[in-house]
Structure 1
Amino acid sequence: MAEKLKQSTFNQSSEEKTRLRQAILLISSLISLSHSIKVFAAKWQSIRIKLEELFSNLTAVENCESTDNFSLSITLESISSTLNSCDELAKRCLELSYSGKLLMQSDLDIVSAKLDNHVKSISDIYAMGLLTQSNAIVVSRPSVSASKDDIKFYMDDLLSRLKIGSSDMKKQALIAFNEVILEDGRYVKTALEVYSFINLFVSFLDLKDVEIQEEAAKSVCLIAGFECYKSVLVIAGVIAPLIRVLETGSELSKEFAARCLMKVTENSDNAWSVSAHGGVTALLKICGNNDCNNDELVCLAFGVLKNLVGVEEIKRFIVEEGAITEFIKLVNSKDEVIQISSIDLLQTMAYEDESIRKTIIQQGGIRAFVRILDPKSSFSTKTREVALKGIMSIYLSSMNALNLLINYGFMDHILYFLRYGHVSVQELALKAAFWLCGTSQEAKKAMGDAGFMPVLVKFIDSKSFEIRELAAETLSSLVMLPKNRKKFVQNDQNVGLVMQMLDQGEVSGNKKLFLSILMSLTSSNSARKQIVNSGYLKNIEKLAEEEVKDAKKIVRKLSSNRFSNIFSGLWHS
C-alpha cells in the first residue's frame, strides 16, 4: 500500500501536478539520503524532521482542490528551488567535497530555515481556504499483518489531515489515531518517530473546538499509558496545556487531562512542573468544588495529588491552603469512591509526618473515620477497610487519639463486627483489634474491660489460618496484663480451648502463639490449675519431649512446688 501513489484530485495544470510529484519524490529521496550522511549529524537530523513534515504536507496537498492556483504555484516553485539546493548540499556532505565547515554549516542553516517557511506557507494557504479536502481519498486502516511501511503510510496520511485538514477531518483523524493505538502499539512508535505528531496533540489541547480538544486529550492520555513515551510528552510541553484543560475544558477533556497527569506524575520529577504551572491549585479546586457532579474527575484529581504530595514542599503548600479540612469533609461524602480517595490521600500525607497527623486529628478526622465504622451506617466493607487502615496509619499510639477513638465508639464498633459481622468484616475487625492492643497498655486494659477476650477465643479454632493467627496474637498480647489474665481464666473453657489447639495436627506457627498465651497464664495459680485439669496436658508434654522451648518452660513451671507430684518424676530436664 505504501508504494502506491495517491491520486491527484485538485484542478491544476499538468505542469504543476508534475512539479508537486517531483517535489514529493525528491523529499523522499533526500530523507533516505540524509541517513547516510555522517558529518553535521545534528543539523541533518533537524533538516530530516522538517523534510518529513513538508513531505506530509505536500502529500496532503495532492488530495486537495485548489481555489487559487497562483498562490500554490509560487509556493511549489520556491519549494523546488530549496529542495534542489538541499540535494546539492546533501551530496557534497556525503562526498565530503565542501570547501569549509563554517560555510557548510551556514548553508545548512539557511536551507533549514527555508524548509520551516515552506511548511508554514502550506499551512497558511490551507488556513486561508485556498485548499479544501472535500474530495480527499481516505486511506484505509492497514490489516493486522500490515508491514512497517504500510503503517508509516497510514500514519503519514493521518498526520497530513491533522495538519491541514478541516476541523471535522482533524477530529476524524484523532479518532482514528486513538482507535488504532489501542489495538497495536506499533502505531504509537511510528507516530512518535515524527516529532510533529506530539506537537500537534499538545497544540490541540488549547483549541476552542471542544470535540478536537477532547480527542487530543484522549490521545495524550493513551500515549502516557506507554511507560517509555511519557518523557516524550513532558519534553513536548504537555503539562501546561493539560492544566489549562483542567481549568477551562469540557468535563470529558478534564477527565482525560487528569488521567494523563496522574500517569506522568508517577515520576516525581514531573511534580514540580505541575506545581509551577498552577496545577496544585487547579486540582484542589476540583476536589473542593461542591457543585462538581463528576465524581470520576474528583477521584482522578485526588490521584494526581497523591502523586504530588511525595514532594515535601508541595505537601506543605497543600496544607497551608487549608486542604486537609476539605479532604475531611469529603470523607463524609455520599460517593464511596470519593470517600475512599480522600481517606487514601490523608493517609498518604500523614505517613511519617507527625505534624499532619496532629492536624488531621485537630480538624475532626477521627470522628469522620470512626463514623464510617458505625454498624448503623450503610457504608461498604471496602470503605470500612480503608477507614480502618487510615485510623491505624494516622493515629498510631497517640494517647489523645486513643481516648478520642474510645469516646467516639471505636472499640464498640470493632467488638460489634467481631460478634456479628460478615466473615470479611470480622477479619477486618480482627486486624483492628490486633493493632489497637499493640498501641499501649491502656488500650489493652480498655479492651479487656470491654469484653474482647471471650470473643477472640471463639476465633482461635477458625478454619482460616490467618484468622486463628490474628486472634491468637491479639489474645497473647492482651493476657500479658495481670488484670486481663484474671478475666480470661474466669471461664474454664478458655484455657481448655487453648490447650486443645496444641494438638499435634495444629500448624506450628499457631502453636507458638498458643504456647505464648499459656506461658503468660502460668503466672496465675488458678490458670495453672486449669491447665493441669484441662485434660489436654499431654499436648504440652509431647511438645516438651520434642524440645519445644516454650513447652519445656511451661512444664517446668507446672512441675515446681505443689504441682510437682502431677508428673510423677516423668520430667527431669
Structure 2
Amino acid sequence: MHSTTTSPPQPAEICDKIIQLLSQLLPSTLSVISFTSRWQILRRKLASLKSLLSEISYFPHWSDNPLIHSLLPNLLSTVYRTQTLCHQCCDPSFNPGKLLMQSDLDMTTDWLSKQINDLDFLLRSGVLHQSTAIVLPHPTANSSKDDLSFFVKNLFIRLQIGSLDFKRDALDSLVQLLSDDEKSASVVAKEGNMRFLIQLLDSNSQDSLRELAVLAVSMLVSMSDFSRKCVFEEGALGPLLRIIECSTMPAKEKAAMAVEFITADTDNAWAISAYGGVSILLELCKSGSGIAQSHSIGAIKNVSTVEEIRIALAEEGAIPVLVQLLVFGTPSAQEKAANCIAIIALSGKNFRDLLVKEKALQSLLQLLHESSNSDTLEHVLRAVYSLSESDVSDQILLGSTSFIVEISELIKHGNIMLQHISASLLSKLSISDDNKRAIGGCMGSLVKLMESAKPNGLQEVATNALVSLLSVKLNRKELVRDEKCVMRLMLMLDPKNELASKKFPVTVVAAIMSGGSQSCRKTLMAAGAYGHLRILAEMEVAGAKKALQRLSGNRLKSILTRTWRE
C-alpha cells in the first residue's frame, strides 16, 4: 500500500477559491431576512475584498510574497464562516438566538475589516512589485538607497500584518540593521511606520516581541535626532515607562536607556510628569541593576531642568536616592547623580537645604577624593560650588584642608574645566592663611590660567584666586621667585600685547606689593613692571595708578625726602 502526500494549496489556488466563493456569496447576501443592516456592511466589505484580490493578482510576483502565504488561508477561513452565517440568516427556520447571531456577525465583520486593511496595506506599500524572500537579504555597504528603503518598508509591513514568526524575524532584522549601520536609523524612522513598532511595546504583546521592540526603540532614539523625534511623537514614552514599571530587568534596562535619550531633548522632558514617570524612575534607581540605575538617574537628571519636575522630585523623595547613588552607585550613576545634584542645588535655598540635610556635601567630597574620572569630578565640583551658597556647607568646606588641597591639585593638573571650577571655588571661599600657605604651589598654574581667554570668566576667577593666596606674605615672596610667573605677568602687562586684558595682571601686581616688600619691588622693577604700569596708568587702565604707586612708593618717598633736606 503506497501512501501519498498532498502538497498544500498554492496562493493562486487559494485566491481563486476565495474569488469563486465571493462570486456566489455576494448575490446570496441580498436574500437575507434577518439583521439586514449588518449584512449591508458585510456586503460592502465582501465586495471590497473581491476587488482587492483581483487587483493584487495583476502583480507578476504577488504569489511569491511570504505575507500572502499567511494572509490568504486566514482570509479563506473568514469567507467560509461568512458563507455559513449567510445561509443561516437566509433560513427562516434557523433560530440561534438574536444576541448570539449579532455577536457572530460583528466578530466576522471585525475579522474581515482587519484582513482587508492588511491586504490593502500590502497592496499600497509597493512591495508586491517584486519578489520577496522569506528571509530578506540584508543591505550591504554597497546597497543603494532604494534597496535600503525597500528593505525597511518590508520589515514594517511584516510588523503590521505578519504572523508572530514574521514579526519576530522582522524585529531581528531591524536590530541587526541598526547594529551594522547607525546611519540607517534615519532611514528607518523615515520609511518605517513607527506606530507599529511602538504598539509592540504594549503589555499585551508577546514577551519576546516586546523585548526585541524595546531594544530596537532604544537603538533608534540613541542614533539620531530625527529618529528620536519620530519615536517620541508616536507616543513611545508612556509604554516605555510601563515597561520600566513591570517587566524583566533586561527590558527595564533598555527602556530606561530609551527614556534617558528621549528626555535629553528638553522639548520632551516635560512629558515625564504626564505619565507619572518621576516615581517610576526613582523606584528603578532604588531597586534596578547597575545599568538600569545609571539610565534612570540619567533620565532624572535630564528632567530636573524643568522647574515643575524639580518640585515633584523633592516631593517624591528624590534627594536621599541621589545621595545614595553618590555613595553606592556605579561610576556612571555617580557621575549623573552628581550632575543632577548640581542642577537641583542651583534652583534655590529650599533645594540646597534639603541636600545639606541629607549630607549630600559630605558624599560629594568623598566622591571627589575617590574618583579619577574627569567628567565625574567636573559634576562633583559644580555641585559643591552650588552647595557652597549654604552657610553650613561653607563651614564644612573651610574646615576641610583635604578638600582645599584637592582643588589646588586640580588647578595644577586638571583639564581646563576642572581648573576653571576649582579656581572659582578657591576665589569664593575665605580659606585660612595656613591653608593658603599649604596650596601656594598652585599659584604658577593660576598665572598661566590668566592668559586663557576661554572659557569665559576663567581669567577673572584665576586672578581672584591668585589675589586671595597673595594675601599671605610667604606666597607673595614665592611668586616673585618664580621667574616663569614673573615673565608671564610682564608679558600680560606689556601694553604692546593686545591679546591680554590688562586689568588682571595689574590687580596681581597690586596684590604682590600690598605688603610693601622691598625684595618683591626690586624683582618686579628689574622685570620691567614700572615702565609697563606707567604707560597703562597714562592709558587710564583700571587699577594701574594704584599699582604704580605701590610699586614706586619708596622711590617717590626718597625723592621727596632728599628734596626737603636740600
Report if TM-score (shorter chain) is over 0.5: yes
1:248-300 Cα offsets, whole Å, 9 max, x none, are 222332222122222332344544543232321110001112xx3x3222111
User: What is the match of residue 69 of structure 2?
Assistant: 63
Q: 1:11 to 1:365 in 2, by over 3 A?
A: same
Q: CA deviation at 1:345?
A: 1.1
Distance in 2 between residues matched to 1:232 and 1:166, nearest whole Å: 25
Tell whether 2:511 aligns with 1:520. Answer: yes
- Measured against aligned partners, the alpha-carbon deviations of 1:405-432 in whole angstroms (never above 9, x if no partner) come to 223x2x433325636x795349777545
In structure 2, relative to structure 1, the CA distance for the partners of 1:455 and 1:216 (3 Å cut) is same
Alignment RMSD: 4.7
Alignment partner, residue 86 of structure 2: none
Deviations 1:425-453 (A, max 9, x none): 497775455323433xxx43525654256
> In the alignment, what sits opposite 1:198?
195
C-alpha displacement of 1:244: 1.4
Matches within 5 A, 1:21-420: 60-64=66-70, 70-71=76-77, 74=80, 118-121=112-115, 137-142=134-139, 150-151=147-148, 153-181=150-178, 183=181, 189=187, 195=193, 198-207=195-204, 209-224=206-221, 225-289=223-287, 292=288, 294-333=289-328, 335-374=330-369, 377=370, 380-396=373-389, 398-407=390-399, 409=400, 411-415=401-405, 418=408
Q: Which runs of 5+ in 1 are unaligned?
A: 1-8, 23-46, 78-113, 126-134
* Aligned partner letter, 2:423: F
- Separation of aligned partners in 1, 2:473 and 2:395: 24
How far residue 331 of structure 1 moved from its aligned partner, in angstroms, is 0.8
Question: What is the CA–CA distance in structure 2 between the aligned matches of 1:240 and 1:313, rounded to whole Å?
Answer: 19
Tell me how far apart the structure 2 counterparts of residues 531 and 265 of structure 1 sit (CA, whole Å).
58
Question: 1:246 Cα deviation (Å)?
Answer: 0.6
- TM-score under structure 1 length normalisation: 0.67
Read off the aligned partner of 2:504 and give its amino acid letter.
Answer: L
Cα deviation 1:331-382 (Å, max 9, x = unaligned) = 11262112111111111222232210111012101111112234xx465454
Q: Deviations over 1:477-532 (max 9, x none)?
A: 444xxxx25454566955987655444587763764332122234444x3256404
Partner of 1:451, secondary structure, is helix
Secondary structure of 2:137's match?
coil
Q: Distance in 2 between matches of 1:344 and 1:532?
A: 48
Whole-angstrom distance in 1 between the partners of 2:412 and 2:246: 47
Structure 2's unaligned 5+ residue stretches are 1-6, 21-47, 84-107, 120-131
531 and 288 in structure 1: CA distance in 2 versus 1, 3 angstrom threshold: same
1:436 to 425, 442, 447: 425
Equivalent-residue separation in structure 2 for 1:266 and 1:430 (angstroms)? 27
Note if contact 2:530-2:551 (Cα within 8 Å) is conserved in structure 1: no
Give the CA deviation at 1:393: 2.4
1:517 is matched by which residue type in structure 2?
V
Residues 489, 206 of structure 1: alpha-carbon distance in 2 compared, 3 angstrom cutoff: closer
One-letter amino acid of the counterpart of residue 171, structure 1: R
- Judge conservation of contact 1:75–1:121 (CA < 8 Å) in 2: no
TM-score scaled by structure 2? 0.68
Shift in Å, 1:385: 3.4
How far is the alpha carbon of 1:176 from its aligned partner? 0.9
Identity %: 21
Whole-angstrom distance in 2 between the partners of 1:284 and 1:454 = 44
Q: Structure 2 CA distance, aligned partners of 1:21 and 1:149?
A: 34
What secondary structure is seen at the aligned counterpart in 2 of 1:509? coil
Name the amino acid aligned to 1:563.
Answer: L
The question of whether the paired residues in 2 share the 8 Å contact of 1:343 and 1:387 is answered with yes
> 1:326: how far off?
1.7
* AA aligned opposite 1:444: S
Partner of 2:95: none
Distance verdict in 2 for CA 1:228–1:160, change over 3 Å: closer
* Structure 2 partner of 1:476: 467
Change (3 A) 1:424 1:249: farther
Q: Deviations over 1:51-103 (max 9, x none)?
A: 99x989995553349768852655999xxxxxxxxxxxxxxxxxxxxxxxxxx
**Matched residue SS, 1:11:** coil
Measure, in 2, the Cα distance between the counterparts of 1:518 and 1:259. Answer: 53
* SS of 1:139 mapped into structure 2: coil
How many angstroms apart in 2 are the aligned matches of 1:187 and 1:362?
Answer: 45
Q: Indicate the larger mover: 558-567 or 251-260.
A: 558-567
- CA apart distance, 1:120: 2.0
Specify the SS of the correspondent of 2:135.
coil
Residues 567, 221 of structure 1: CA spacing in aligned structure 2 closer, same or farther, 3 A cutoff? Answer: farther
Change in 2 beyond 3 A, CA 1:384/1:210: same
Quote the Cα distance in structure 1 between the aligned partners of 2:67 and 2:552: 101
Asked whether the 8 Å contact 1:16–1:73 carries over to 2, the reply is no
Q: 1:497 to 1:139 in 2, by over 3 A?
A: closer
